[in-house]
Amino acid sequence: MIIGIDLGTTNSLVAYYTDEGPKIIPNRLGKNLTPSVVSVDEDGQVFIGETAKERMQLYPDSSAAVFKRSMGSEKVYELSGKKFLSEELSALVLRALKEDAECYLQEEVTEAVISVPAYFNDERRKATKRAGELAGLKVERIISEPTAAAIAYGLYENRQNGKFLVFDLGGGTFDVSILELYDSIIEVRAVAGDNFLGGEDFTKVIEDIFFDKNPDIERESLTEKENRHVKKQAENCKMGFSGERYSNMTCKIGEQTYEMRLSLDEYEAKCDELLDKIRQPIKRSLSDANVRLKDIDRIVMVGGATKLSFIRKFVGKLFHNLPDTSINPDEAVALGAAVQGAMKERRDSIKEVILTDVCPFTLGTEVVVEKDNGRFEDGHFCPIIERNTTIPASRTERLYTVHDNQTQIRCKVLQGESRFASNNVTLGEIRIKVPKAEAGKESVDVTYTYDVNSILEVEIKVTSTGEIVKEIIKTNATDMSDEEIKERMEALSYLKIHPREKEENKLLLLRGERLYEESIGNERMYIEYALREFERALDTRDDGVIQGARNDFKEFLEDFAE
């Protein structure tokens, strides 16, 4: 039997398929949700789930939670002298789910379908697969959470074709996916999201409100244990809003007891910044899919954080359409993964459905561009397979030599959305020799092929000689984490160049870069052209020229953003 697993940031679940449909398997405590928490005592005993979560309140230094956010990175968690990577902690959670399934089903379980956020990059997906293998599972497939949710809602059984948006706000990640159903095919049209936005952040808002209302508490002086206590009480306060307009929070710090009564209206107002962060991935996914809000036939809500009433109200107002909440949002992904497992087993009782997926990030290479003075500037990014391209996909770009008598061409394989190569993630590098000739006379065809198993093949062919170099790009666990990538992207090189120190110039450049990263295809070309024109004006250091260019660029950005 192939089980389905939702390996979540806050909680994890396991499910299996029966003739009556998919069902959640209860854990050893008889609960459907297993907290994604690991704790290790001084004797080396490992605790998983609810026990570990409880222990974390007492021994926070030897416990770990929310480690899914670090999946695929080098971050090390030290618990009672033992060191773990995120995928190893995840493997412990998966092993506990496997044991629960075996106990419940009374049979050995060796295969699983595991879900991941749609916006997980290749290394995070591979780390998840490794976690399953470390837990003793053959991972039949890594399935995107929104796609699993779509299956759970039975969208593939709906005979009527249409477009669906899956809004997935979990404990630590946010995904929005646009899917199109036709016949027995579910095609993912676009995905977007934020790997650092989820229910944990909405809990932190309550923590911040609590400290604001109790200014006599010195937050920086609290112990880790006290901080964990506050966080737990904030989580309880958040859950208290289920069907209520007010919720209470009580914390004991030292010998003092602190209480807070919080209204839903005040809480919602304090979450405005988080709600704004939700809008951007929705806007990006609609743009990438070339779909308008009114074209969406159905909205599916997934993830525990969507149980907050004001989140559902926010989505309803945004789309002018009531979202579908007919399935427990905590369970939808696991149920869909179980159905996918049954499809892999080719069960007679289930309808076969074809699932297509997309490449979540743009893949490209580093190139040089010619400036007005005839000199070349390196460090620019050339997209080859753009994000949200249906996979498998193969794309070719022709590159030319830039120097006389050049003897080789270097292809730096990059992943990301910035127009500057240094701000994107380097996946590998390939070099190939070319015959000596005048600049621009020799060229190579660079072909990227990306398959459904997240494997990228790069082929470089010298057009004059026919010589070919081909390589499979394999990332590894030493890639930068998302936090490090984010830090690098914030440190944009152009902010250091005079006169860009002027605040309005900085703001317009950053806004232009953001729009560039959010766009694809021809729109990217228009934005890059406008950016270069503005940068050219800044390079003149002539205040009059800069003022005129700034007005033009500002008007362009405003028109483009409409």
pLDDT at residue 398 is higher than 80: yes
Is the same domain home to 322 and 427? no
How many C-beta atoms surround the C-beta of residue 74 within 10 A? Answer: 13
Q: In the listed set 429, 446, 481, which residue is the last one of a domain according to the structure?
A: 481
pLDDT at 20: 84
Using CA atoms, how far apart are residues 276 and 516, in angstroms rounded to an integer? 19
How many C-beta atoms surround the C-beta of residue 40 within 10 A? Answer: 23
Owning domain of residue 371 = 359-481
Q: Is residue 266 part of a domain?
A: no
**Each residue's pLDDT tens digit, 202-247:** 999 999 999 999 999 988 899 988 998 899 899 999 999 987 899 9
Q: What is the mean pLDDT of residues 145-167?
A: 80
pLDDT at residue 283 is higher than 70: yes
pLDDT at residue 13 is higher than 90: yes
Q: What is the mean pLDDT of residues 339-368?
A: 82
pLDDT at 248: 94
346: buried, middle or exposed (CB in 10 Å: 19+, 13-18, 0-12)? Answer: exposed
Distances (CA, A) of 488 to 110, 196, 482, 507: 41, 16, 10, 18
DSSP conformation class of 454? S
Is the same domain home to 469 and 405? yes
Q: In the listed set 342, 358, 374, which residue is the last one of a domain according to the structure?
A: 358
pLDDT at 214: 93
**Each residue's pLDDT tens digit, 382-395:** 999 999 998 889 99
DSSP conformation class of 324? B
* Pairing between β-strand 162-169 and β-strand 298-302 as defined by DSSP bridges: parallel
Is the same domain home to 53 and 121? yes
Q: Is residue 137 part of a domain?
A: yes
**What phi and psi, each to the nearest 5 degrees, are found at residue 447?**
-115, 125
pLDDT at 349: 62
Number of separate domains in the chain = 3
Q: Is residue 256 part of a domain?
A: no
**Each residue's pLDDT tens digit, 100-148:** 999 999 999 999 999 998 878 778 888 898 888 888 899 878 888 888 8
Number of alpha helices (DSSP H) and beta strands (DSSP E) in the chain: 14, 27
Using CA atoms, how far apart are residues 195 and 154, in angstroms rounded to an integer? 26
Top-confidence range, 167-171, 367-371, 514-518: 167-171
**Each residue's pLDDT tens digit, 172-183:** 889 999 988 887
Active site residues: 6, 68, 145, 168
**Each residue's pLDDT tens digit, 16-65:** 999 888 999 999 888 999 999 998 888 777 888 888 888 888 889 999 99
Q: Is residue 234 part of a domain?
A: no
Is the same domain home to 164 and 283? yes
For the chain, the C-alpha Rg in angstroms (whole number) is: 26
Is the same domain home to 383 and 515? no
Is the same domain home to 366 and 401? yes
pLDDT at 497: 26
Is the same domain home to 456 and 344? no
Is the same domain home to 309 and 331? yes
pLDDT at 562: 57
Top-confidence range, 206-220, 365-379, 440-454: 206-220
Confidence of residue 507 (pLDDT cuts 50, 70, 90): low
Q: Is residue 487 part of a domain?
A: no
pLDDT at 156: 62
Q: What is the mean pLDDT of residues 347-374?
A: 81
DSSP 276-316: HHHHHHHHHHHHHHT--GGG--EEEEESGGGGSHHHHHHHH
Q: What is the mean pLDDT of residues 467-475?
A: 82
pLDDT at 502: 58
CB within 8 Å of 221: residues ≥ 6 apart? none
Is the same domain home to 446 and 524? no
pLDDT at 370: 83
Q: For residues 54 and 267, which has the higher predicted lDDT (pLDDT)?
A: 267
pLDDT at residue 337 is higher than 90: yes
pLDDT at residue 475 is higher than 60: no
The pTM score is 0.74
Q: Is residue 265 part of a domain?
A: no
- Tell me if 37 sits within 8 A of 58, measured CB to CB: no
pLDDT at 485: 33
Residue reference for tokens 């005079």: 498
Q: What is the mean pLDDT of residues 535-552?
A: 88
CATH number of the domain where residue 364 is located: 2.60.34.10
Is the same domain home to 8 and 70? yes
Of the listed ranges 75-84, 150-159, 295-304, 362-371, the least confidently predicted one is: 150-159
pLDDT at 135: 87
Is the same domain home to 148 and 31? yes
Q: Is residue 236 part of a domain?
A: no
- Evaluated on CA atoms 212, 216, 220, 221, the torsion sign reads negative
pLDDT at residue 414 is higher than 90: yes
Total length of the chain: 562
Confidence of residue 355 (pLDDT cuts 50, 70, 90): confident
Is the same domain home to 411 and 313? no
Per cent of the chain over pLDDT 90 is 48
Q: In the listed set 439, 459, 481, which residue is the last one of a domain according to the structure?
A: 481
The structure tokens listed for 76 are: 């090390």
Q: Is residue 104 part of a domain?
A: yes
CATH number of the domain where residue 104 is located: 3.30.420.40
